[in-house]
Chain A
């Protein structure tokens, strides 16, 4: 078997992940063998798998050099922390802490606390890294404490206290949000909160104070009970964070639309019929908003990726994904989708390279791309053509009240915004199309089918 490592799996001397013919494997190297043995023999691995908190694995072969091969359960879609909603990041952080407490009960400890070790399956956070557990030595502090704060607590507190858009800082630094930056960005009053004061402000100060210190410092011992209390304080702090009071532009879109009941019902019925006809394995709902059409698609598809630019809308998609377990929420700005990132731009894949589906939905979306984003009709067609061989797109013409509002004062710039022009742009990507006018509305649905 040729073992081509997944590009993001190269930092850990204990092992790596590779894919072969669509199946996923993990190689545990001799350096990680002992820790992995303790992890499985302590009963922790089995307990976590049973509780759906760890990706299941099957041991396959053991090599002469002592390395071990595991077959892993592949997840249908991987999203990255900078594509999550607030609650997703919080739940991922809480899972990390829960695993840490569970590990301590088995005399083990998490040696890292990266948010990239977590994925979402059926609306639940699940831990991916089977080589993150090691033996807990007596009185040793948690080496991953700073990483935990940088990956989870700092972005969450910034989103809560400053702005939800602070999550995008994570995309600029895959190592997490630097503590000095987080401390500087947070309001002065957060120093009165003991959790934020210790875990972020003082943490940043200590980090700065000792970063250039070459003297050998004696680290005070950390009894297990005290470490458990530190984890408990982090759990209390994370568990108490929520953003329900923060308003955003699109979260209540469907409460203020120009659709009549008849036209909205028609859209839903047509979307359902088209999904039934295509019977896709996977659907990508671009501009999913709160997931009305993603929910319809999920009834007929294996998996649905529901992407939206609005953090509160993705928050609702996450809540929906707990009920509709084949729905995957993604926070995504189509004007600047997640690119290839990390070492050699290979560690984290771009959104568009991960999003290859059988059907793409673009309902009440493309006029925003054309008018607010200044995309050309050809770029709009290219987006759908690169995502899926079938598409359902809503065309909103220049005479629509919403489009008039968007175009105000710039009408002469968008003279090409016609149904004919858009259809011509779609022609290179799709073999045939159908137009269905939406009743009580100047809008139309375009049903595009593969070549």
Chain B
């Protein structure tokens, strides 16, 4: 059943999606960086 989504909720959703996309990107970047560091250490 379609439900009333609410204008405020849809606007917030758009903002939240941008914020969490950026957050996920930063986390993944940080994860890659840490993995790289660990690989470097193992290599040494």
A residues at B contact (CB < 8 Å): 11-14, 111-112, 131-132, 141-147, 194, 198-199, 202-203, 206-211, 213, 217, 219-222, 225-227, 229-230, 232-233
Contacts and interface: CB of A to CB of B under 8 A. Distances in A.
A112 B1 CA distance: 6
B1 A12 contact: yes
B24 interface: yes
A229 B20 CA distance: 6
Interface residues of B, number: 22
B24 A229 contact: yes
**7 closest cross-chain pairs (CB), A and B:** A210-B8, A206-B8, A233-B20, A12-B1, A143-B5, A220-B14, A146-B9
B11 A232 contact: no
B20 A232 contact: yes
Contacts of A227: 17
Given A145-B5, A146-B5, 18 more contacts: A13-B1, A14-B1, A112-B1, A131-B1, A145-B13, A146-B6, A147-B3, A198-B20, A203-B12, A203-B16, A208-B8, A210-B7, A213-B8, A219-B10, A219-B11, A222-B14, A230-B20, A232-B24
B7 to A, nearest CB: 4
Nearest to B19: A198
A207 B6 contact: yes
Nearest to B18: A226
B23 interface: yes
- Interface secondary structure of B, over-half rule: helix
Contact of A112 (B3, B12, B20): B3
Given A194-B23, A233-B23, A209 B13 contact: no
Contact of A11 (B1, B20, B21): B1
Interface of B: 1-3, 5-21, 23-24
Contact of A203 (B9, B18, B19, B23): B9
Contacts of B10: 141, 143, 145, 219
Given A13-B1, A198-B16, A226 B21 contact: yes
A217 B11 contact: yes
A222 B15 CA distance: 10
Contacts of A144: 3, 5
Contacts of B24: 229, 232-233
B11 A206 contact: yes
Contacts of A208: 8
Nearest to B12: A206
Contacts of A112: 1-3
B8 A143 contact: no
A226 B17 contact: yes
B3 A210 contact: no
Contacts of A202: 12, 15-16
A385 to B, nearest CB: 39
B9 A145 contact: yes
Contacts of A217: 7, 11
Nearest to A149: B9
Nearest to A15: B1
A219 B8 contact: no
24 contacts: A11-B1, A14-B1, A111-B3, A112-B3, A132-B1, A141-B10, A141-B14, A142-B13, A143-B3, A143-B10, A144-B3, A145-B9, A146-B5, A194-B19, A198-B16, A198-B19, A206-B12, A207-B9, A207-B12, A210-B7, A210-B11, A213-B8, A219-B11, A230-B21
Contacts of B13: 141-142, 145, 222, 230
A213 B10 CA distance: 13
B22 to A, nearest CB: 9
B1 to A, nearest CB: 4
